[in-house]
Structure 1
Amino acid sequence: MHTLESLLGLLIQISVPAFAIASMLSMGLRTPLRSFRAQLRDRRTVLALLGANFVVIPAVGTLLIWLLNGLMAPHIAEGFVIVLCAAGAPFVLQLGAMARIPYSESAGPMAVLLLGSIVFMPLVVPFLLQDVQVDAWAIARRLLGTMLLPMLAGIAISAVLPTRADGLARTAGAVAAVSAVLMFVSGFGRNTSLLLEVLFSPALLVAAGLVILAFVAGRVSGELAGPTLTVPDGPAILSSQRNIAAALLVARSAGEDSHQLVLAILLLSAVGFVMLVPYALATGYARRRRAGERTSAGVLLGIVGPRSD
């Protein structure tokens, strides 16, 4: 049993940075510079997204968690707080494809939020989690090295080798998918007893409530956004799918408390996935039907078909 636990611990130490690096590399390879430029010029959209993701969601969500503190184990609540501070998830690109949201309206805002998370999390997470040993510089170093640099590398490779960018992005995406599976298996497997305890507690309802909060805040920001965003629920999906890679990297800097924080982050991510994927599929199906497009399984899942940028 001790050997299995050590193996699972080693597996999650490898899979978390592998997932972060591969997913950000894939995103950079698929995101042209024009997406960043167009998004940054639209100050109204940038301010609306930043306000929703780095003011409303962390503030209201953390307040809600503090009010419900007695209903959850302390480290579960602290893991949820970390997730609320992490925005700009690469998986949003896939959810956007499912929901038939133009690619530039997913990639550009997601990159803006990722850059915001790299600045926001080292400053705010140590302040909110004073009972947890987290080092601001360690957080910044992990985010810069495993998220920002791979994204920039992907953008550079895409500019230099445009004909090979798509194939490289698919390979990096496959590595990210395998790493994500290993991450969930090892994270849940290492904390089976705590997971069972959490599943029979109000923590699941709190997690669902936080996803709904993020969705509503993102939907409001979509209504307030500028002309670069044409689909109002795009920011809702973008905001409610938090950046699990960034959150896990931060949790790993917490020392001996990290495995419980990791469980909370994976749990909230899984709840968000279960809630958002059906929504994205349903809205994507309805939009494709209205547009007279074919609705095969591959198209609905965002696997085949042209990107709408």
Structure 2
Amino acid sequence: MIEFFITHIEVVGVILLTLGVAFILLQQRRSPQSTAAWILFLVVMPYVAAPLFLALGFRKQGKRYEPIIFTQKEDPQTPVHALDEMFQSFNLPPALEAQRLNLHDTPQTAYAAAMEVIESATQTIDVLFYIVSDDDTGNHVVDALTEKARNGVKVRLLMDRLGTLRGPSKAVKALRKAGGEVLFFSPILQLPSSGHLNLRNHRKMIIADHARVFSGGMNIGEHYMSDHPHSDHWVDLAFTLEGQSVQTFCDVFRSDWEVACGEDVDHITTPAPTTAGNATVQLIPSGPDIVEDPLHDGIIRALHLAKT
């Protein structure tokens, strides 16, 4: 009889947990394929799917990741196109004209551009990457940051803990010894209330003096960028940017650094550029620290607006 009641309680518990997870799942904004896959998983293996969902299934987590506070001008900016108008309705920074933007489509040019941004810094360098590899590229970049720290430049390096699980530890240790600040985003071992394992930080940027930025799709590693040809590198794009649009990158980095260190960081305004460019630029961040899904909605709207 006792065994029957224990089994009954276990079954009821699994059913209630499954229903609770299903309710949360249906409240989230997901693709139909993702929702159907999770529901099927819950039906077939509820005792596995429910705990796995609680650990990995959340797309947004407001308590841990507060919305990014963007530094914006008091006067509203007139939208330069339909997408800009939509993004501003999400309270995102406006598109800005006359920015200097240069694309880098090879590992060699990207590596040279990243090192140039680091070398150009005279006051501050803020670096954020998902992966900083323990290879020649990773060590060279961290060594360059260390040299800057020794010369009095304020260096902050933020890496995702899962992405950089095997990073250049010796080089990072030397950076810390030289006075650089190093933090890891979202540790592997953490309390359930402090975040979720699946919410990784894939952002990539090097910001020099709050005025110049290197960013794009490339991580720091030989498979992404290098000063010599590599047989199996990823085909990806990076860019360097100068202008008032750098401010949004500074805001994103500041927000992520605050999450990692648990303290508020002062807002610093990007200085006015000395030269103008011919690019119109708008940074649209995406993640648990952005309300709703403006990047997704913007891509869908761009497809609907296309005429030719």
Q: With structure 2 as the length reference, what TM-score do the two structures score?
A: 0.24
Q: Higher relative contact order by CA 8 Å / sep ≥ 6: 1 or 2?
A: 1
Structure with bigger gyration radius: 2
Specify which structure has the higher proportion of strand.
Answer: 2
Specify which structure has the higher proportion of helix.
Answer: 1
Q: With structure 1 as the length reference, what TM-score do the two structures score?
A: 0.24
